[in-house]
Amino acid sequence: MNILLLGYGKMGKEIEKVAISRGHQIAHKIDLNNVEDLHTINPTEIDVAIEFSGPEAAVANLLFCLNNNIPVVSGSTGWLDRKSEIDSICLQKKGAFFYASNYSLGVNVFFHVNRVLAKVMSRYPTYNVAIEETHHTEKKDAPSGTALTLAKDVIDHIKTKTSWVNASAHELSQLSIVSKREPQVPGTHLVKYDSQVDSIEIKHIAHSREGFALGAVVAAEWLPRKVGVFGMEDMMEF
């Protein structure tokens, strides 16, 4: 496949390595240094775009792809207040848009386990639930998109939780998400249920960015010739 890379930071470079190792070509690499080159691209020469830019560029990049009939896989965070708009445009244009807050295959198994555990724990109100996430110091947004996905699935099942706060919670209805930033941490996420008698924890630790990049490239291989809005649950068939 000919791949358009939108965003060429650390993740973009890792995606490039994985894509080439799997026999694909990187047709163009666009970042903040050459963003004007985006409009010189011939869309018919692109099979799929992989978008891992910053929050300030993500929406414009996605609109470019959808308006030019380029299937697009996105992993950017910090712009999700406009995701419903992008979903709607994709459907209107009969395009293909794949979004995940985290492309690690292991993390998506973790998401599935989180949903199952939250459903079980909804029957035991003596446990209080909280989330903790740790990432590298260069990560711009907090909480992470992965933590927000975990939080949404907890709130969907634990009826005592109605909202999240990016701090220690002071009200029972709030789900605490504590964000930590430390050097050289690809990503660690912890969901903890705590009671007076015991605690239950599930945890995912990423050892490198390679797992995220592999999942994004696998999604890019899966998406072409499809129409609609998709996510990892569609591809992994949970």
Q: Which residues are catalytic?
A: 135, 139
Q: Nearest 5°: phi and psi at 87?
A: -55, -45
58 and 80, same domain (yes or no): yes
120 and 31, same domain (yes or no): no
Each of the 238 residues of the chain gets a pLDDT tens digit; together they read 999 999 999 899 999 999 999 999 999 999 989 999 998 999 999 999 999 998 889 999 999 999 999 999 999 988 999 999 999 999 999 999 999 988 999 999 999 999 999 999 999 999 999 999 999 998 878 999 899 999 999 999 999 999 999 999 999 999 999 999 999 898 999 999 999 999 999 999 999 889 999 999 999 999 999 999 999 999 998 7
- Could you tell me the CATH number of the domain that includes residue 32? 3.40.50.720
Q: How does pLDDT run across 201-211, given as a tens digit for each residue?
A: 999 999 988 99
93 and 9, same domain (yes or no): yes
Q: Are 7 and 213 in contact (CB under 8 A)?
A: no
84 and 71, same domain (yes or no): yes
128 and 171, same domain (yes or no): yes
Cα gap 205→117, rounded to integer Å = 18
23 and 139, same domain (yes or no): no
**Which pair of tokens denotes residue 212?**
């995220």
Q: Are 169 and 175 in contact (CB under 8 A)?
A: yes
156 and 82, same domain (yes or no): no
10 and 58, same domain (yes or no): yes
Give me the domain span that covers residue 181: 105-205
Task: List helix spans (H) across 34-82.
Answer: 55-67
Give the amino acid at 210.
E
120 and 198, same domain (yes or no): yes
Q: How many structural domains comprise the chain?
A: 2
146 and 75, same domain (yes or no): no
**Which pair of tokens denotes residue 47?**
């099979």
167 and 221, same domain (yes or no): no
Cα gap 220→238, rounded to integer Å = 19
